[in-house]
Amino acid sequence: MAYNPEPVLGQAAMAASLPVAIASNQSSIPVSIATAPVLVAGSATIGSVKVTDGTNTATVKPASTAALATDPALVVTLSPNAPIQAVSQSGTWTVQPGNTANTTAWKVDGSAVTQPVSGTVTANAGTGPFPAAGMVASGSANANNPVKIGGAFNTTQPTVTNAQIVDSQHTARGAQIVATGVDTFTATIGAAIPTGANTIGAVTQASGPWTSNITQAGGTNISTGTGAGGAGIPRVTVSNDSNVLATQSGTWTAVLNPATSGGLSTTKLISAASTNATSLKASAGQIYNVQAFNLNAAPRYLKVYNKASAPTVGTDTPVNVWMIPGNTTGAGFVLEISNGVAFATGIAYAITGGITDADTTAIGANEVVVNIQYK
């Protein structure tokens, strides 16, 4: 067994000291370091490190664990070269330039001058109303593209209804179109119409008679009152569908001028062995002349009906009955009716041997001839 002499108590060199193992339940042992150690480059585990001010020890917790109000604070000063980290604020932030009051103007750089701003700037003007002013004063020349009031030109004016908005209407040359509404307006012509020929357009009269004194026609003074015709006597043409009332104090001289058209229509009948029922005209007309002659010794009777078809002899009632005298050598009559005999429905006739309306006695063939002029 080797024998080692008892070591010297107190501080001694390692060669004169015994190695010691610290128990697992050993209380804290104060350690002093005369010279700060230098850590080896690379990864190394040095154990736990606590930061303390001698009284309080800073607490380090995982990021997922919320800090408590009782946790000792650790004051850290950031280096001017360190990047600014993200921060969050749950309440109201108060930001001011340095330690000056919040009323001090902020500068975007150190020049202390007004800086240009680009991009879209939204400004809140506050509460109106706001006055508006143009860029050109009244009576000045047109400049700087001022806001102008105009309207729309339409070849056909728009039609709107109640409560609708419509553009002001203008002509193709920019003149505003003005029309009267419920309230009328008065237009005053600033200058007299010049002498000579002038076109003033159509003139209408709302109500009441027009009063106009015409003194000339065709450059000639108009004559009034009675008198002979002349250059100053206006001529009047009467329409062809009008009648002119004429009066005559003396004797009228009428002259009938023959015409090639517009006269009366005529018909001729040579009797057959019957009552000779005939439709002369199927519409309204008038008879102006009748010539009837008889070769039988007994008289014959010409009966005229107001009917648009051939009469039913013995049943229909005639309007007129004219006797044709009898004579084997010939006898008869000529009847001239100046104003005509009117038939409102039509003109029809028949010839019988008896005078009564109901007679149906037929006459002989070729014994009676009848000519009628009618319209």
Q: What is the pLDDT of residues 144-188, one digit of tens each?
A: 777 777 788 988 888 889 989 888 888 888 888 887 666 666 777
Residue 293 is assigned to a structural domain of this protein: yes
Looking at per-residue pLDDT, the higher value among 125 and 272 belongs to 272
Residue 202 is assigned to a structural domain of this protein: no
The total number of structural domains in the chain stands at 1
Q: How far is CA 234 from the centre of its chain?
A: 50
Q: Is 350 helix (H, G, I), strand (E, B) or coil?
A: strand
Instruction: Please give the model's pTM, rounded to 2 decimal places.
Output: 0.38
Residue 260 is assigned to a structural domain of this protein: no
18: which residues sit within 8 A by CB, 6+ positions away? 7
CATH number where 271 lies: 2.60.120
Give 299: exposed, middle or buried? Use CB within 10 Å, 0-12, 13-18, 19+.
middle
Q: How does strand 169-170 pair with strand 152-153?
A: parallel
Mean pLDDT of the chain: 80
Does residue 343 have a pLDDT over 60? Answer: yes
**Tokens for 334?**
């000529």
Residue 304 is assigned to a structural domain of this protein: yes
- Confidence tier at 330 by pLDDT (50, 70, 90): very high
Q: How far apart are CA 305 and CA 316, in angstroms?
A: 8
Residue 244 is assigned to a structural domain of this protein: no
Cβ neighbours of 352 (radius 10 Å): 25
280: containing domain: 265-374
Q: Is residue 351 within 8 Å of residue 241, measured between CB atoms? A: no
Residue 55 is assigned to a structural domain of this protein: no
pLDDT tens-place string over residues 293-315: 999 999 999 999 999 999 999 99
Residue 215 is assigned to a structural domain of this protein: no
Does residue 316 have a pLDDT over 60? Answer: yes
**Tokens for 44?**
């190394």
Residue 338 is assigned to a structural domain of this protein: yes
